[in-house]
């Protein structure tokens, strides 16, 4: 058969073109090419469509990681997978990620003709404080930023409509997921204050006790909110019907928001902080995601003294404290301006994830609610947990780094760091150890830090065999990918 096709390739191609003039390769109804010729291969957009190397996903919550892997398996790129993971985490790990919160990402495409010329770019959507004037607030809520942040990431780097990952998150919320160990642990930590809110108690308790690992978590109100986002668009949360519902509901939970606050909640693109590391370059999240600044300073310290983690940590925290105090720019800090040791206040929790596709496109993100479960209250009728305003709690150290080779236009490694005041050090040590050993996270990062890592020691493209991924062995995340 192959020989016959080869001999009459032109005639066969013409015949196929005529036969399939009305065919679709989208996997929809109407008789696709795959269905017409009886192939058992999954159509594009269906898990299993991609054969061979998929790439990888690492996340702090297993179900969200599997959602990302499904996207890669169905033909989506790293940004498509990242958007899907973020929306999934808003359902499966609402203690640390949610529609009410925000975060920051580094995105990279190795193609010099890509939207950012083959260099990493930061997408910043950190939780914003409301302007005030909406009434008394006993637990001020942040302006919700996740949806707009993911919309920007999707519009700039994705290949699929954002309705697709929103629909998957809606499905998880409507039909339920098994509570992960990561979520159950977070609920147990803050169950007392969390359950003073009737909405939170209804969702996260069972017979008055914190929801346990393996119990079904169904969030019908959140599913309805996600459905409205899917149908009406992300903008509805900021200037439409959902926006009006948030404005009306927010005073009921002591965290009033105004229409102007929601309109002003815009994500932005920014150049990352970049450090040379032998033949590679390392991009770090820039402020206001200032955990990236701390990670960059710690990485510099580790370049000079690889085993002196204590000094790297001290310098990281001093850098962030100096930046937050004002008067010192990140450029001056990275240039070596003297820093004064400073203690940081207790810092909020965060979560990280990373994605990599078969072509070397990569995304690493850090998300937060500015506290475990944010304000501990749910906007009535929406299922959305309200993140805490950065005016009421200190911002977390959102820390992530991505290594690439600018000469050959190829991905090398990406790391997300969490762990309150250990987050910046975790990202720096995770990156330094990975580059040095050519193994993703050869050893756990120092406590209290945690890390998620994806790395390709031989660069991607083209060396898929050199890629690996790892989650922190002390926590309950998942690394998923491969073939």
* pTM for this predicted structure: 0.91
pLDDT of residue 232: 98
Tell me if 456 is assigned to some domain: yes
- CA atoms of 34 and 18, how far apart (whole Å): 16
pLDDT of residue 134: 65
Domain total in the chain: 1
284-287, long-range: CB < 8 A, 24+ apart: 284/106, 284/399, 284/400, 284/401, 284/427, 285/104, 285/106, 285/122, 285/124, 285/366, 285/398, 285/399, 285/400, 285/401, 286/122, 286/124, 286/330, 287/323, 287/330
Q: Within 13 Å of residue 231, how many CA atoms lie on the same side as its CB?
A: 9
What is the SS3 assignment for 172-203? HHHHCEECCHHHHHHHHHHHHHHCCCHHHHHH
| pLDDT beyond 70 at 34 | no
Average pLDDT over residues 200-219: 98
398 close to 370: Cβ distance less than 8 angstroms: no
| pLDDT beyond 90 at 17 | no
> What is the tens place of the pLDDT at every residue in 137-190?
889 999 999 999 999 999 999 999 999 999 999 999 999 999 999 999 999 999
- CA atoms of 282 and 418, how far apart (whole Å): 18
Tell me if 158 is assigned to some domain: yes
Tell me if 328 is assigned to some domain: no
> What is the tens place of the pLDDT at every residue in 234-263?
999 999 999 999 999 999 999 999 999 999
426 close to 405: Cβ distance less than 8 angstroms: no
Map residue 40 onto helix, strand or coil.
coil
Tell me if 286 is assigned to some domain: no
- From the list 435, 432, 431, the residue with the least C-alpha distance to 457 is 435
388 close to 142: Cβ distance less than 8 angstroms: yes
pLDDT of residue 39: 55
Instruction: Give the residue, 414 or 327, on which the prediction is more confident.
Output: 414
Q: Which phi and psi angles does 289 have, rounded to 5°?
A: -80, 70
Tell me if 253 is assigned to some domain: yes
Tell me if 29 is assigned to some domain: no
Tell me if 300 is assigned to some domain: no
| pLDDT beyond 60 at 98 | yes
| pLDDT beyond 80 at 24 | no
Tell me if 92 is assigned to some domain: yes
> What is the tens place of the pLDDT at every residue in 77-91?
999 999 999 999 999
- From the list 354, 135, 323, 80, the residue with the least C-alpha distance to 247 is 135
337 close to 294: Cβ distance less than 8 angstroms: no
| pLDDT beyond 90 at 363 | yes
**β-bridge mates for residue 125, sequence order:** 103
Q: Which domain holds residue 428?
A: 62-272+343-482
Instruction: Give the residue, 20 or 66, on which the prediction is more confident.
Output: 66
pLDDT of residue 344: 87
pLDDT of residue 327: 78
| pLDDT beyond 50 at 454 | yes
Q: Radius of gyration of the chain from Cα atoms?
A: 23
In this structure, the chain runs to a length of: 483
| pLDDT beyond 90 at 36 | no
């Amino acid at each position: 058969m192959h020989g016959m096709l080869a001999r009459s390739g032109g005639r066969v191609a013409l015949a196929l073109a005529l036969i399939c003039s009305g065919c679709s390769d989208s996997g929809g109804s109407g008789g696709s090419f795959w269905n017409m010729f009886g192939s058992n291969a999954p159509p594009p957009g269906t898990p299993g469509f991609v054969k061979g190397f998929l790439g990888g996903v690492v996340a702090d919550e297993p179900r969200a990681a599997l959602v990302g892997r499904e996207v890669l398996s169905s033909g989506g790129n790293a940004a498509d997978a990242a958007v899907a993971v973020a929306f999934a985490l808003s359902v499966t790990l609402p203690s640390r990620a949610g529609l009410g919160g925000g975060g920051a990402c580094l995105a990279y495409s190795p193609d010099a003709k890509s939207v950012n010329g083959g260099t990493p770019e930061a997408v910043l959507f950190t939780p914003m404080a409301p302007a005030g004037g909406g009434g008394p607030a006993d637990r001020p809520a942040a302006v919700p930023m996740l949806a707009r942040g993911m919309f920007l990431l999707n519009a700039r780097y994705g290949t699929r409509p954002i309705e697709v990952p929103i629909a998957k998150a809606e499905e998880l919320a409507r039909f339920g997921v098994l509570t992960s160990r990561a979520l159950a642990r977070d609920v147990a930590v803050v169950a007392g204050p969390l359950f003073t809110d009737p909405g939170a108690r209804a969702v996260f308790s069972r017979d008055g006790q914190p929801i346990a690992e393996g119990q079904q978590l169904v969030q019908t109100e959140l599913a309805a909110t996600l459905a409205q986002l899917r149908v009406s668009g992300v903008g509805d949360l900021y200037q439409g019907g959902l926006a009006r519902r948030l404005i009306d509901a927010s005073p009921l939970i002591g965290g009033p928001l105004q229409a102007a606050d929601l309109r002003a909640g815009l994500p932005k693109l920014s150049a990352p902080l970049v450090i040379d590391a032998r033949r590679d370059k390392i991009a770090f999240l820039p402020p206001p995601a200032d955990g990236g600044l701390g990670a960059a300073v710690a990485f510099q310290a580790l370049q000079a003294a690889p085993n002196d983690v204590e000094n790297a940590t001290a310098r990281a925290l001093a850098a962030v404290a100096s930046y937050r105090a004002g008067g010192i720019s990140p450029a001056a800090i990275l240039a070596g301006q003297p820093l004064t040791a400073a203690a940081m206040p207790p810092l909020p929790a965060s979560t990280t994830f990373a994605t990599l596709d078969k072509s070397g496109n990569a995304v690493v993100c850090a998300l937060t609610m500015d506290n475990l479960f944010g304000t501990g209250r749910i906007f009535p009728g929406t299922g959305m947990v309200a993140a805490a305003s950065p005016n009421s709690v200190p911002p977390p150290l959102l820390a992530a780094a991505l290594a690439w080779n600018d000469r050959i236009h190829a991905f090398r490694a990406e790391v997300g760091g969490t762990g309150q005041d250990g987050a910046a050090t975790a990202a720096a040590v995770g990156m330094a150890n990975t580059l040095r050993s050519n193994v993703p996270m050869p050893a756990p990062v120092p406590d209290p830090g945690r890390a998620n890592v994806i790395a390709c020691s031989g660069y991607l493209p083209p060396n898929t065999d050199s890629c690996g991924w790892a989650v922190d062995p002390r926590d309950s995340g998942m690394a998923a990918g491969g073939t």
